[in-house]
Amino acid sequence: MATLLVSMSYGHRAMINDVAEAPVIDNVGSPTNGLDSSWYDARATFYGDIHGGETQQGACGYGDLFKQGYGLETAALSTALFNEGYTCGACYQIMCVHDPQWCLPGTIKITATNFCPPDYSKTEGVWCNPPQKHFDLSLPMFLKIAQYKAGVVPVKYRRISCARTGGVKFETKGNPYFLMILPYNVGGAGDIKLMQVKGDKTGWITMQKNWGQNWTTGVNLTGQGISFRVTTSDGVTKDFNNVMPNNWGFGQTFDGKINF
């Protein structure tokens, strides 16, 4: 079952030229490192109901997945894939394999929006425990590739580019001394490895990933127009200039107009 994490900081990360580097999973060739299009083995289960109940919000920091454009095409990732939240927003293609009794033909495309936590209290059915790669799908997505009674099925998966409509969105949270930004509706690789912010009166400020896909800075930028510089996991960087006017407030969402 997926989980909702409480907002927290992950602590010190290596810094190179004032750029916070994302942690690297010890998994050579893993498709979580950029857009490796190779197919890999994993398993899949489901959580929530047919309407997506229990799949909203979650450990990536997203809110109403329908309003944010992700809908029901989502999954919670096991520790081996979640990468401390750096994989949030990544897109995958998944198909059921090696189980003709339960598998259905075809593939699905999903976005990583949540975390499937490990359970060390059990010795069976612990699909999300390291080092296993596992997708806890929304029920509607699971039913596209397998029968309900299967419960858990072997799958093949690969990273794919995320197709999004409209620009990247930036949601503001926090207070003047703790600005938190949630970027969502991110196309291309989908997952972000670096985010910077610039006010009318500042240069580019490297933000720190706080939890999920929430990025923060302690610099007070109230009263300034705001721009963002976003780098996705495949190394592509885009500038989103003058996204927020100087009268922006907290609890608002702004359209970056462009996408990856």
DSSP 181-240: EEEES--BT--EEEEEEEETTS--EE-EEEETTEEEE-S--TTS-EEEEEEETTS-EEEE
CA distances from 97 to 45, 107, 152, 169 (A): 13, 10, 12, 36
Cβ neighbour number for residue 43 with a 10 Å cutoff: 17
What does the pLDDT look like over 75-133, one tens digit per residue? Answer: 999 999 999 999 999 999 999 999 999 999 999 999 999 999 999 998 888 899 999 99
What does the pLDDT look like over 14-53, one tens digit per residue? Answer: 222 333 333 333 333 334 445 898 999 999 999 999 998 8
What does the pLDDT look like over 196-239, one tens digit per residue? Answer: 999 999 999 999 999 999 999 999 999 999 999 999 999 999 99
User: To which residue do tokens 């989502």 refer?
Assistant: 74
What does the pLDDT look like over 127-174, one tens digit per residue? Answer: 999 999 999 999 999 999 999 999 999 999 999 999 999 999 999 999
| 10 or 194, which is more confident | 194
At residue 2 the predicted structure's pLDDT band, cuts being 50, 70 and 90, is low
What does the pLDDT look like over 53-80, one tens digit per residue? Answer: 889 889 999 999 999 999 999 999 999 9
The pTM of this model reads 0.85
